[in-house]
Chains A and B, each alone.
Chain A
Amino acid sequence: DTAVSQTPKYLVTQMGNDKSIKCEQNLGHDTMYWYKQDSKKFLKIMFSYNNKELIINETVPNRFSPKSPDKAHLNLHINSLELGDSAVYFCASSLNGGLTGELFFGEGSRLTVL
């Protein structure tokens, strides 16, 4: 059983297009996140949701819009894709808002913008 699953695993698209990445966790966690890993493998938080409420919005362009329909799902929609959006996007989840310290990451969604 996959704890944090993301779809799709790979996305190749043209500049200017809109795309979505979906994430689901079956761990019963109350907090979910989106992290971005760039080509140099640097990981940076984008958003976090606690019980469907946006907690962290880390100066991400407005073209990125997260949506959490329920505690187990967090989707990421990206409008007007740019070359610089090419990266691996990781969904993660945690219990107790992350205060326990452990985040469980999905396997990532590799986005390539041409």
Chain B
Amino acid sequence: QQQVKQSPQSLIVQKGGIPIINCAYENTAFDYFPWYQQFPGKGPALLIAIRPDVSEKKEGRFTISFNKSAKQFSLHIMDSQPGDSATYFCAASGAGGTSYGKLTFGQGTILTVHP
């Protein structure tokens, strides 16, 4: 059962464009929503994260928008650069109990930024 659905599967933008990646979740017990960035041959690395009591969080060129009622969240990359070309994963996890670090990942989005 896929609890976090991510779209699109792939995305191509020109340098300076604003790619947007969307995710939707089902489990209302999730209370932490990180985005990970993965370059070829490397492990995923945390990019930015948000908790559901906040509707938007910005770190540098990366912004998460969160809609708790719709159970959706999205990543926007402002002024995208060729170096941003990577696979992006949204994820969700719950708090406490046996949920320690149990991230449920979306399917991933391969982003290509052309110069």
Contacts and interface: CB of A to CB of B under 8 A. Distances in A.
Interface of A: 4, 31, 33, 40-45, 48, 50, 55-56, 58, 90, 92, 94, 97-99, 101-103, 105-108
B102 interface: yes
Q: Which 7 A/B pairs are nearest by Cβ-Cβ distance?
A: A98-B101, A105-B43, A97-B100, A98-B100, A43-B105, A41-B108, A102-B46
B89 interface: yes
Nearest to A95: B101
Interface in B34-90: 34, 38, 41-46, 49, 87, 89
**What secondary structure prevails in chain B residues at the interface with A?**
loop
B10 to A, nearest CB: 11
Interface residues of B, number: 24
B34 A102 contact: yes
A90 B43 contact: yes
B13 interface: no
Nearest to B50: A101
Interface string B16-49: 0000000000000000101000100111111001
Given A41-B108, A48-B100, A56-B102, A101 B43 contact: no
